[in-house]
Amino acid sequence: MMGAMIKKPLIDPNVLQQLERLGPDELELFLLNRGNYRGALLSATRMINEMRVNHNYGVLETLICGHAYLAAGLISASLKGQDRVGIEMDCDGPAGGFVVDSSAGGSVRGYLRHAPIQIDAPPESFDTRPFIGDGTLSVTRFAEGSKQPFTGHISLAIHDYFHDFEAAEVGTREVRFDCGCSKERFARFLAAMPIDEIKEIREQGPFPLRTVCHNCNTTYEFSESEIERAYQMSR
Ligand SMILES: [Zn+2]
């Protein structure tokens, strides 16, 4: 039983042409004002397109979830080792919010809570506020070796700070759409289900049982014999 995240291929020729022109995704790290500020600049057209294709998102879903991916990618600049950071938004607009996370290694994954977004009329601008409404944003940092994650609430603002400062680039890092899910993980999850539930699946199917990862939209299928094995493991 093997299996890991499946990326759907990018096939839109316009997107492929654009990606070729732009080159690989990259997170550039730099110091501003003689080291008083740290900055990061993220180019992630490939990451956003791969996210869009895997999740089957339309323009609006891609715009909102894409902003979340960019934020997670930027914050990954401050991580090291096995650290991870999660960004969650709950809101009362039709998008419902999002759940994304990133790692020090530059893996970014996650999803929009309500997709497709239910709207009455096509959006008239790229202003995403009507679809988000009011809500809360939380950022949780899972530091390596620390049992207690740290959650903070922050306000995100984009300023034109950089004009006034001299920037010195200090390096680049990789950022990509990447999810650590696997069929083995889903099998362990099935085996950890309450015995009645796994028993019911075992007896009633349907087979193959399909499980879908929220974060990357990969589907893992379990045959009857694989469910039997999970059931035996759970007893
Ligand atoms: Zn996944």
pTM of the model: 0.87
Fold topology of 183-234: CBS domain Like (3.90.1280)
Separation of CA 89 and ligand 1 centre (Å): 19
C-alpha span between 166 and 35 (Å, rounded): 10
Separation of CA 7 and ligand 1 centre (Å): 10
Counting every residue written for the chain, the total comes to: 235
Comparing 12-26, 144-158, 175-189, the range with the smallest average pLDDT is: 144-158
Q: Token digits for 114? A: 């309500």
pLDDT reported for residue 223: 95
Separation of CA 109 and ligand 1 centre (Å): 8
DSSP the chain: ---B--PPPP--HHHHHHHHHH-S-EEEEEEETTTTEEEEEEE-HHHHHHHHHHHT--HHHHHHHHHHHHHHHHHGGG--TT-EEEEEEEESSTT-EEEEEEETT-EEEEEESSSS---SS--SSS--HHHH-SEEEEEEEE-TT-SS-EEEE-------GGGGS-EEEEEEE--EE----BHHHHHHHHHTS-HHHHHHHHHH--SSEEEE-TTT--EEEE-HHHHHHHHHHH-
List, by residue range, all CATH 3.90.1280.10 domains of the chain: 183-234
* Average pLDDT of the segment spanning 71-93: 93
Separation of CA 164 and ligand 1 centre (Å): 41
Higher pLDDT, 124 or 196: 196
- CATH architecture for the domain at 13-177: 3-Layer(bab) Sandwich (3.55)
* Average pLDDT of the segment spanning 106-114: 97
Separation of CA 4 and ligand 1 centre (Å): 8
Separation of CA 182 and ligand 1 centre (Å): 7
Q: What residue has token string 């042409």? A: 17
Whether the predicted pLDDT of 180 surpasses 70:
yes
List, by residue range, all CATH 3.55.30.10 domains of the chain: 13-177
pLDDT reported for residue 114: 96
- Ligand 1 being an ion, which residues bring their Cβ within 5 A of it? 5, 179, 181, 213, 215-216, 218
C-alpha span between 47 and 55 (Å, rounded): 12
Separation of CA 220 and ligand 1 centre (Å): 10
pLDDT reported for residue 163: 55
Q: What is the pLDDT of residues 198-226, one digit of tens each?
A: 899 999 989 999 999 999 999 999 999 99
